[in-house]
């Protein structure tokens, strides 16, 4: 295998064939982080306990391309304990926790990931494909895309199925399916209710503010906080910013989403208007060029700009560079750009996911549900395959029964009880004659 020259980026482990991480000596620190996450992920740990006995994935290889965090480590080790041989890469250059990656490598996971891996990002993905995986697990569709474009034989004749974690990835996946270019079935895990109604809203809301605070340490109260996009993720960010005392402004392209935001108490305006008054800007749209040159040109001195969408295309950084006379890193993940007239604009985390680049991503408690869904999606793929089913090649929804299962287990683990309908109530809601 050709190994790129990593000397400039840090020390790499000697066993590059099995893994490639920044510093294997960080394994002890990473293990503590994983232990902490495990203690907050009871649904996934319950699945681990159950399936480590039956090992449904024995004999099968899973390649994953998803942020290497302490929560992802709990998913990876659960898949491994359920019998899978696991190969993994990060899905964003700035989201790998190097200590977690080291702990996984030490445990025998074939992991190819390190923080600030811009240059060899796809090299890492391809090392996981070298293993000829039977299942793929994506966040953003880069693994699926690489397999489909460069390893067609594997995609067509070897891979059983896959899953996709995020909204942007599901959009990409549906576009591929619509173009007749999807070669194996993929579960849209993002679209499970117990994923996107929780992870996208409460996870993104909290972790995005966490990232902004860690990168800047600014006071949020009293600031004009502009969120671009009021979907699940954007609404979570705006909700939390409001709770911290910010004057919240949202920008939207959907009239329905804008109206919902207005009734939540946020101001609604275009980005052209918001650019003039905002103190902090956060993009959460999944669309490119949300903040461009004319917006930077009208911003106030000291404006802070960041993104929490999957890709780094929402803020046009080339535009910012083109109108800046100088720039410097003023704090980790905080770059100061000085415009010709002396105004300063602060770009966080190179316009990449602020919550993972500058903080630790979503809290374990929400990732518990997202990753329980991931595990169950893969379990379903392998069980359907083993039963001889010819799984249709399409983007598949998570069945409502799985959502119900994840939600009720989560409630049970928190010792929360809910009511049940009586026989009489069931009769009532099913009776078309029951009226005034």
Asked if 22 touches ligand ADE (CB under 6 A), the answer is: no
Instruction: Write down the least CB distance from residue 426 to ligand ADE, Å.
Output: 39
Asked if 361 touches ligand ADE (CB under 6 A), the answer is: yes
Residues 398 and 189 sit within 8 Å (Cβ to Cβ): yes
Residues 374 and 78 sit within 8 Å (Cβ to Cβ): no
**Per CB under 6 A, which of residues 391..410 are in contact with ligand ADE?**
none
Q: Return the number of the residue (182 or 359) whose C-beta is nearest ligand ADE.
A: 359
Q: Return the number of the residue (154 or 354) whose C-beta is nearest ligand ADE.
A: 354
Asked if 162 touches ligand ADE (CB under 6 A), the answer is: no
Q: Return the number of the residue (71 or 120) whose C-beta is nearest ligand ADE.
A: 71
Residues 103 and 77 sit within 8 Å (Cβ to Cβ): no
Residues 116 and 12 sit within 8 Å (Cβ to Cβ): no
Maximal CA-CA distance, the chain: 77
**Per CB under 6 A, which of residues 200..229 are in contact with ligand ADE?**
203, 207
Instruction: Write down the least CB distance from residue 150 to ligand ADE, Å.
Output: 25
Asked if 69 touches ligand ADE (CB under 6 A), the answer is: yes
Sheet with 85-89, side-by-side order of all strands: 110-112, 85-89, 61-65, 135-138, 161-164, 186-188, 395-396
Scanning 25-33, 64-72, 182-190, 291-299 for contacts with ligand ADE by CB under 6 A, the matching segment is 64-72
Among 104, 141, 182, 367, indicate the residue that binds ligand ADE (CB under 6 A). 367
Scanning 61-69, 117-125, 185-193, 313-321 for contacts with ligand ADE by CB under 6 A, the matching segment is 61-69
Scanning 68-76, 100-108, 125-133, 264-272 for contacts with ligand ADE by CB under 6 A, the matching segment is 68-76
Q: Return the number of the residue (90 or 185) whose C-beta is nearest ligand ADE.
A: 90
Contacts of residue 191, defined as CB under 8 A and 6 or more positions apart, other chains included, come to 170, 397, 398
DSSP 336-390: EEEETTS-EEEEEGGGSBHHHHTS--S-HHHHHHHHHHHHHHHHHHHHHHHTT--
Q: Return the number of the residue (44 or 367) whose C-beta is nearest ligand ADE.
A: 367
Number of residues that bind ligand ADE (CB under 6 A): 11
Asked if 72 touches ligand ADE (CB under 6 A), the answer is: yes
What value does the CA radius of gyration of the chain take, rounded to a whole number of Å? 23
Scanning 67-75, 181-189, 298-306, 397-405 for contacts with ligand ADE by CB under 6 A, the matching segment is 67-75
Q: How far is CA 161 from CA 37, 152, 381, 398, in A?
A: 28, 14, 6, 14
Alpha helices by DSSP H, listed for 290-351, are: 293-298, 317-322
Among 360, 226, 231, 240, CA closest to 286? 231
Asked if 240 touches ligand ADE (CB under 6 A), the answer is: no
Instruction: Write down the least CB distance from residue 127 to ligand ADE, Å.
Output: 20
Among 61, 240, 362, 410, indicate the residue that binds ligand ADE (CB under 6 A). 362
Contacts of residue 157, defined as CB under 8 A and 6 or more positions apart, other chains included, come to none
Q: Return the number of the residue (299 or 353) whose C-beta is nearest ligand ADE.
A: 353
Asked if 67 touches ligand ADE (CB under 6 A), the answer is: yes
Report angle CA 122, 91, 361 to the nearest 5 degrees. 155
Residues 283 and 231 sit within 8 Å (Cβ to Cβ): no
Rounded to whole angstroms, how far apart are CA atoms 335 and 215?
A: 10
DSSP 117-147: --TTHHHHHHHHHHT--SEEEESSSHHHHHH
Asked if 92 touches ligand ADE (CB under 6 A), the answer is: no
Q: Return the number of the residue (90 or 161) whose C-beta is nearest ligand ADE.
A: 90
Scanning 121-129, 148-156, 356-364, 398-406 for contacts with ligand ADE by CB under 6 A, the matching segment is 356-364
Interacting residue ranges for ligand ADE, rule: CB under 6 A: 66-67, 69, 71-72, 203, 207, 356, 361-362, 367
């Amino acid at each position: 295998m050709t190994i790129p020259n990593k000397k400039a980026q840090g020390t790499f482990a000697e066993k590059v064939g099995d893994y490639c991480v920044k510093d294997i000596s960080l394994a002890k620190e990473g293990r503590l982080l994983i232990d902490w996450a495990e203690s907050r992920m009871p649904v996934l740990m319950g699945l681990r306990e159950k399936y480590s006995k039956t090992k449904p994935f024995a004999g099968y290889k899973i390649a994953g391309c998803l942020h290497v965090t302490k929560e992802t480590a709990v998913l990876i080790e659960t898949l491994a304990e359920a019998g899978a041989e696991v190969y993994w890469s990060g899905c964003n250059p700035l989201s790998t926790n190097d200590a977690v990656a080291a702990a996984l490598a030490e445990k025998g996971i074939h992991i190819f990931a390190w923080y600030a891996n811009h240059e060899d990002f796809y090299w890492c993905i391809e090392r996981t494909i070298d293993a000829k995986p039977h299942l793929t697990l994506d966040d953003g569709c880069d693994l699926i895309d690489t397999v489909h474009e460069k390893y067609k034989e594997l995609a067509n004749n070897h891979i059983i199925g896959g899953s996709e974690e995020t909204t942007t990835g599901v959009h990409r996946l549906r576009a591929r399916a619509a173009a007749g270019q999807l070669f194996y079935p993929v579960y849209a895990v993002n679209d499970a209710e117990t994923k996107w109604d929780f992870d996208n809203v409460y996870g993104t809301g909290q972790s995005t503010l966490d990232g902004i605070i860690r990168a800047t340490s600014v006071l949020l109260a009293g600031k004009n906080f502009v969120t671009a996009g009021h979907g699940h993720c954007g609404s979570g960010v705006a909700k939390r910013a409001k709770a911290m005392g910010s004057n919240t402004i949202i920008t939207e392209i959907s009239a329905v989403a804008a109206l919902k935001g207005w009734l939540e108490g946020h101001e609604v305006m275009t980005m052209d208007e918001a650019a003039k008054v905002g103190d902090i800007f956060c993009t959460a749209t999944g669309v490119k060029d949300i903040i461009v040159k004319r917006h930077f040109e009208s911003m106030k001195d000291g404006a802070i700009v960041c993104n929490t969408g999957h890709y780094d295309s929402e803020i046009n950084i080339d535009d910012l560079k083109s109108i800046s006379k100088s720039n410097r890193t003023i704090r980790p993940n905080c770059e100061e750009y000085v415009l010709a007239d002396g105004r300063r604009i602060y770009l966080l985390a190179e316009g990449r996911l602020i919550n993972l680049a500058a903080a630790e991503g979503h809290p374990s408690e929400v990732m518990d549900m997202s990753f329980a869904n991931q595990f169950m999606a893969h379990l379903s793929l392998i069980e359907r395959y083993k039963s001889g089913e010819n799984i249709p090649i399409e983007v598949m929804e998570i069945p409502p029964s799985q959502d119900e299962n994840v939600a009720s287990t989560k409630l049970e683990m928190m010792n929360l009880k809910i009511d049940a309908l009586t026989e009489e109530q069931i009769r009532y809601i099913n009776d078309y004659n029951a009226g005034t």
